[in-house]
Amino acid sequence: MIEKHFDSSYEYVRQLDQQDKLAPFRKEFYLQEGSIYLDGNSLGVLSKRAEKSLLDLLDSWKQFGIDGWTEGDDPWYNLSERLGEKVAPLVGANSEEVVLTGSTTTNLHQMVATFYEPRGERTKILADELTFPSDIYALQSQLRMKGYNPETHLIRVKSRDKRLIEEEDVIKAMTEEVALIVLPSVLYRSGQILDIKRLTKAAHERGILIGFDLCHSIGAIEHQLSEWEVDFAVWCTYKYLNGGPGSVGGLYVNKKHFGKAPGLAGWFGSNKDKQFDMEHTMIPAETAGAYQIGTPHILSAAPLIGSLDIFAEAGIANLRKKSLCMTSYMMKLISRELADVHFNIGNPLEDKRRGGHIYLEHKEAARICKALKVNGVIPDFRAPNGIRFAPVPLYNSYEDVWKAVRILKKVMEEGQYKQFENERGIIA
Q: Going by DSSP bridges, is the β-strand pair 386-389/380-382 parallel, antiparallel, or unpaired?
A: antiparallel
Q: How far apart are CA 347 and CA 369, in angstroms?
A: 18
Check whether residue 413 and residue 274 sit in a common domain: no
Same domain, 389 and 258: no
Domain check: are 186 and 155 in the same one?
A: yes
Label residue 5 by pLDDT band (50, 70, 90).
confident
- Catalytic, 239? Answer yes
* CATH at 382: 3.90.1150.10
Q: 233 near 214, Cβ under 8 Å?
A: yes
Does some domain include residue 190? yes
Residues 278, 340 within the same domain: no
4 pLDDT above the threshold of 80: no
pLDDT tens string 289-337: 999 999 999 999 999 999 999 999 999 999 999 999 999 999 999 999 9
Task: Round to whole Å and give the CA distance between 184 and 218.
Answer: 11
Output the known binding site for pyridoxal 5'-phosphate: 104-105, 132-135, 213, 216, 238, 267, 295
Q: Are 46 and 393 in contact (CB under 8 A)?
A: no
Nearest-angstrom CA–CA distance, 366 and 422: 5
CB 202 within 8 A of CB 234: no
Confidence label for 425 from pLDDT (cuts 50, 70 and 90): confident
Domain co-membership, 19 together with 164: no
Catalytic residue of the set 163, 322, 382, 388: 388
Q: Write down the pLDDT at residue 80.
A: 98
Are 297 and 388 in a shared domain? no
Estimate the share of the chain in helix, then strand, then coil, as percent rounded to the nearest 5: 45, 15, 40
Looking at the predicted structure, is the pLDDT value of residue 1 above 70?
Answer: no
In the residue annotation, 39 being an active-site residue is answered as no
Answer yes or no: 336 catalytic.
no
The pLDDT of residue 228 is above 60: yes
pLDDT at 3 over 80: no
E strands, 279-409, in order: 344-345, 358-361, 377-378, 380-382, 386-389
Q: What is the mean pLDDT of the chain?
A: 97
Task: Assess whether pLDDT exceeds 90 at residue 242.
Answer: yes
- For residue 76, list its beta bridge partners: none
Q: For the residues of 357-374, what is the DSSP string, one character each?
A: -EEEE-TTHHHHHHHHHH
Pairing of strands 232-235, 250-253: antiparallel
Q: Are residues 195 and 323 in the same domain?
A: no
Q: Is 77 among the domain residues?
A: yes
Q: What single letter denotes the amino acid at residue 109?
A: H
> What is the rounded average pLDDT of the residues 165-169?
98
Cα dist from 108 to 100, 139, 174, whole Å: 13, 8, 20
Annotated binding site: 104-105, 132-135, 213, 216, 238, 267, 295
Active-site hit among 37, 232, 238, 389: 238
Q: Give the whole-angstrom CA distance, residue 50 versus residue 13.
A: 29
* Confidence at 276, pLDDT banded by 50, 70, 90: very high
**Whether residue 283 sits in one domain with residue 199:** yes
Note the pLDDT of residue 25. Answer: 98
The reply to whether 104 and 174 lie within a common domain is yes
Q: Which of 345, 327, 351, 38 is nearest to 222 (CA)?
A: 351
Domain boundary among 262, 287, 313: 313
Cα–Cα distance measured from residue 306 to residue 392, given in angstroms and rounded to the nearest whole number: 18
**pLDDT of res. 342:** 86
User: CA–CA distance from 397 to each of 38, 371, 402, 420 (Å)?
Assistant: 10, 22, 9, 29
Average pLDDT over residues 336-348: 94
Tell me which of 77, 132, 137, 420 is the catalytic residue.
Answer: 132
Print the domain residue range for 306: 51-313
**Segment 278-296 mean pLDDT:** 96
User: Could you give the CA distance from residue 425 to residue 82 in angstroms, rounded to a whole number?
Assistant: 39
pLDDT attached to residue 375: 98
| 164 alpha carbon, distance to own chain's centre | 17
Among 301, 173, 245, 170, smallest CA distance to 427 is for 245
Say which of 239, 320, 354, 370 is annotated catalytic.
239
pTM of the complete model beyond 0.95: yes
**Domain contains 367:** yes
- Mean pLDDT value of segment 280-291: 97
Cβ neighbours, 10 Å, residue 236? 23
Do the beta carbons of residue 128 and residue 101 sit within 8 Å?
A: no
Specify whether the CB–CB gap between 289 and 80 falls below 8 A: yes
- pLDDT at 384 (0 to 100): 92
Residues belonging to the chain: 428
The residue among 313, 331, 348 that closes a domain is 313
* The predicted structure's pLDDT at residue 426: 81
- Residue 200's domain is classified under what CATH number? 3.40.640.10
**pLDDT for 2 beyond 80:** no
> Using 50, 70 and 90 to split pLDDT, how confident is the model at 427?
confident
353 within a domain of the structure (yes/no): yes
Distance CA 148, CA 124 (A): 9
Rounded mean pLDDT of 29-38? Answer: 97
Of the candidates 316, 220, 241, the residue with the CA atom closest to the CA atom of residue 83: 241
- Return the SS3 of 11: helix
Which is the catalytic residue, given 213, 231, 380, 400?
A: 213
Helix (H, G, I), strand (E, B) or coil at 154: strand
49 is catalytic: no
Q: Is residue 331 located within the same domain as residue 308?
A: no
Instruction: Judge whether 222 lies within some domain.
Output: yes
Q: Looking at the structure, tell me whether residues 195 and 74 fall in a common domain.
A: yes
* Number of folded domains that form the chain: 2
Mean pLDDT of 22-29: 98
Domain edge (last residue) among 313, 341, 375: 313
Say yes or no: 304 and 340 in one domain: no
C-alpha separations of 346 from 153, 217, 241, 359 in Å: 30, 18, 25, 5
**132 a catalytic residue:** yes
| Residue 43, in any domain of the structure | no
Segment 101-111 mean pLDDT:
98
Assign residue 12 a region: left if phi > 0, alpha if psi is -120 to 50, beta otherwise?
Answer: alpha
Q: Cβ–Cβ contacts within 10 Å for residue 34, how many?
A: 7
